[in-house]
């Protein structure tokens, strides 16, 4: 499977796992996970849904 295919598959898994209707933020989270970096989001609903499990997801207003 291509890198893009793995990205999309993982994004769909994240969206499904955390009951997200859209995969938009999940794509970014999957990419950050694959790259081993943080994902900063301003989407409070997404952050609240995933932050206890996906520790690399950070809430933008918390940025110092």
Residue 1 DSSP class: -
Residue 23, both tokens? 């995969």
Residue 62 pLDDT > 90: yes
Report the chain's mean pLDDT, rounded to a whole number. 96
User: What pTM was computed for the model?
Assistant: 0.91
Average pLDDT over residues 24-39: 97
How many whole angstroms from its chain centre is CA 33? 8
Question: Coil, helix or strand for 20?
Answer: coil
pLDDT at 1: 84
Phi-psi region of 59 (alpha: psi -120 to 50; beta: other; left: phi over 0): beta
Rounded Cα gap, residues 46 and 50, in angstroms: 6
């Amino acid at each position: 499977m291509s890198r893009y295919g793995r990205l999309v598959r993982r994004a769909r898994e994240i969206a499904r796992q955390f009951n997200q209707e859209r995969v938009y933020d999940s794509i970014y989270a999957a990419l950050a996970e694959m790259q081993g970096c943080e994902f900063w989001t301003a989407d409070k609903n997404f952050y609240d849904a995933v932050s206890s499990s996906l520790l690399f997801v950070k809430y933008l207003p918390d940025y110092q």
